Amino acid sequence: MKKSLPKTIKDVEEVRIETDLLIIGGGNSGCFVAIEAKEKNPNLDVTIMEKAHIDRSGALAAGMDAINTYIGEGETPETIVAWSRAQVGGGPLREDLALSNANILNECVESLEKWGVPFKKDEKGRYKRRGRFDISIHGEQLKPVIAEKTKSYNPRILNRVAATNLIKEGDRVVGAMGFGIRDGKFYVIKAKATVVSTGGAAGLYRSATNDGTTSHHQMWMCPFNVGTGYAMGVRAGAEFTLMEQRWCAARVKDFTGPVDTISVGYKARMINSKGELILQERYAHLGGDTAPRYIRANAPMSEWSDGRGPTYVDTRHLSPEQVKDLKIDYLNERPTYVLFLAARGQDPAKEPLEIYGSDPYIVGGHTASGYWVDTDRMATIPGLFAAGECAGGMPNKFVGGCAAEGVLAARGALKYISSVRHGDPDENQIAAEKERVFFPLVRGSGMEAKYNIPAGQDPRWQYDGVTPEEMEERFQRLMDEYAGGVGQFFKFNEEQLNYAIKHIKMMRDQVNRLFATDLHDLVLVHDVIDRLDVAEVVVMHLRERRETRWPGWQTRTDYPDVDPNLDCFINSRKNLKAGEIEMIKRPYEQILPGDRTKAPSPIPLSAEKA
């Protein structure tokens, strides 16, 4: 519906809602929060703010081909936590969070099958394992299935409503505000507890193929997850952890799609242009094929930068059956990878598939970046909870773990709700946010056409302002060049980071030059504002960790070795009075005994066939 745009802030209608539990982000974990909350308390008033449409929104939009965290026969919650710990080079990670998650992991995963998602089974009828903790599913309908289950409990689902900021009353979060992408209204939602489950942050860096006319969003992670959840928390003064632990993964080159499917599921090994088995050759001391993730992530980049590229995963041993299965797996997760291969006339059985590093993302479902939470998943501000990728401190959650996070956040929120009343937020705060949110749109509708632009060209070039795309492009290149993007083989030093911080701040000062000529543009404006806020924290964390603990995820050319003094959590919090980000260190607490870098496997990997 093409609405007429507001000329002044006063023209903007308001929608005021009061709810018990507000969930920001109706993705995988957000839906699980709603389902668990309604299961435990059917009379609870639950509201979901969803930027897109709950049936397909989020990273699960095209589906999934595997659940990468399931505790199979012979494994226990402890072994999966130990494995997760080893995958991040021994930590740091919050073992308390990881154990609480692992304890309910399987039932969350199994409920997906109950709700209708086909799980692949072996001849004995057990879930077919394609890796130590990975099982295969045909998940093309994964999100619609989860959405239908969520809808069956009748929560209030606000589709096409983007959250912009939390509402605070004193030191408590009492709800959130946002705007309707279709109706152009300002939403003020008071809640007793607020769960942030907006997924990770993509598009902080330039992706490798974003220079193509139609391939700007060619990235592994969902580009519409911009880190709004993190940004809102930063602006509210919540504490964040490990924001330097970026997820830079090896991905199929150019397409920047998942590669674990191939490497793990079909045992395709990484090779370089000379045919050398990279992990065996250079990383045997770190475990070779079972080396920690960041090693596997970084390996192709080192090969390229040392002149031994291109790099591949070797699929030439696959039988025609396996190639077909491989393609079906992709059709369930990133279907257009099959189109990509078809568009190059490539047969995996004849040629190995190229891989390369991806742009870095902040995703608390893969690494441990995110909100600093307690075991109830409450953040450092009372009333605020984080679920899924937003919750920090626990890496390797993936789909199953994020679902479990949703359940745990719901339980934590319910406990909290039973002890509080609604807040009474200050109207000035609400008015200020309304102004902040709609200013670019009001500005856009009132701008004078200054420059000559002929018909058929983008009419926005008539106006003297900054479009969100321009700022996003500048910002993404800035991060790529100065904060260790894929263009720099993930490497950076202190001076580069300082440069990045300086220019992020300058861009932040210029966000009032941004303008939007319709509601879709307004989304883009807030996307870039939120990304800037998240990126600032990321860069500050990268600077603070003066060591290289996880090469690839965080490679300091000026501090190339591990510093044992930094065997701890690097956290941050915005000082709301000073307006500056403060850095905090918190100690590591080991619960599971043993060598943190090792994860003894009761079932040898090689015995498991794809």
Q: Which residues bind another protein (CB under 8 A)?
A: 1-2, 51-53, 55-58, 61-62, 113, 116-118, 138, 140-141, 144-145, 148, 151-152, 160, 181-182, 209, 211-219, 222-224, 254-255, 324, 327-328, 331, 334-336, 338-345, 520, 523
Q: How far is the CB of 266 from another protein (least distance, A)?
A: 16
Residues 37 and 161: beta-carbon distance below 8 Å: no
Contact by Cβ (8 Å): 378, 416 = yes
The residue among 398, 396, 401 whose CA lies nearest residue 64 is 398
222/234 with CB nearer another protein = 222
SS3 of 37, please? helix
Closest CB 216 distance from another protein, rounded Å: 4
The torsion angle over the Cα atoms of residues 141, 200, 374 and 554, rounded to 10 degrees, is 130
Q: How far apart are CA 74 and CA 88, in angstroms?
A: 22
Angle between helix axes 519-544 and 494-509 (nearest 10 degrees) is 150
**Nearer to another protein by C-beta: 116 or 446?**
116
Shortest separation between residue 521's beta carbon and another protein, angstroms: 10
In the complex with another protein, the residue whose CB is nearer, 95 or 140, is: 140
Burial (Cβ within 10 Å: 0-12, 13-18, ≥19) of residue 577: exposed
**What is the rounded CA–CA span in Å between residue 248 and residue 118?**
30
Nearer to another protein by C-beta: 118 or 382? Answer: 118
Secondary structure E strands in 197-304: 239-241, 250-252, 270-271
Burial pattern 189-220, b for ≥16 Cβ within 10 A else e, equals: bbbbbbbbbbbbbbbbbbbbbbeeeeebebbb
Q: 345: how many CB neighbours lie within 10 A of its CB? A: 7
The closest alpha carbon to 429, from 150, 134, 172, belongs to 172
Q: How far is the CB of 182 from another protein (least distance, A)?
A: 8
Q: Cβ 172 to another protein, closest distance in Å? A: 32
User: What are the residues facing 14 on neighbouring strands?
Assistant: 186
Q: How far apart are CA 58 and CA 287, in angstroms?
A: 34
Closest approach, Cβ 487 to another protein, in A, equals 16
- The distance of closest approach from Cβ of residue 526 to another protein in the complex, given in angstroms and rounded to an integer, is 12
CB-CB neighbours of 397 under 10 Å: 29
The 3-state secondary structure of 509-554 reads: HCHHHECCCCHHHHHHHHHHHHHHHHHHHHHHHHHHCCCCCECCCE
Give the shortest CB-197-to-another protein separation in angstroms.
16
Cβ distance to another protein smaller for residue 45 or 148 = 148
Contact 80, 105 (CB under 8 A): yes
**Between 152 and 273, CB nearer to another protein:** 152
Rounded least distance, CB 291 to another protein, Å: 29
Written as six digits, the tokens of 222 are 């969902």
Nearer to another protein, 93 or 402 (CB): 402
Cβ-based nearer residue to another protein, 75 or 527: 527
Q: How far is the CB of 186 from another protein (least distance, A)?
A: 18
Helix H or strand E segment including 491: strand 491-492
Looking at the Cβ atoms of 417 and 441, the one nearer to another protein is: 441
Task: Give the nearest distance from C-beta 115 to another protein in angstroms.
Answer: 9
Give rounded-to-5 percent helix, strand, coil for the chain: 40, 20, 45
Q: Which is nearer to another protein, 242 or 252 (CB)?
A: 252
CB of 2 to another protein, least distance (A): 6
What is the token pair recorded at 116? 């209708």
Q: Which is nearer to another protein, 395 or 485 (CB)?
A: 485
- Residue with smaller CB distance to another protein, 62 or 471: 62
- Amino acid identity for residue 184 in this structure: G
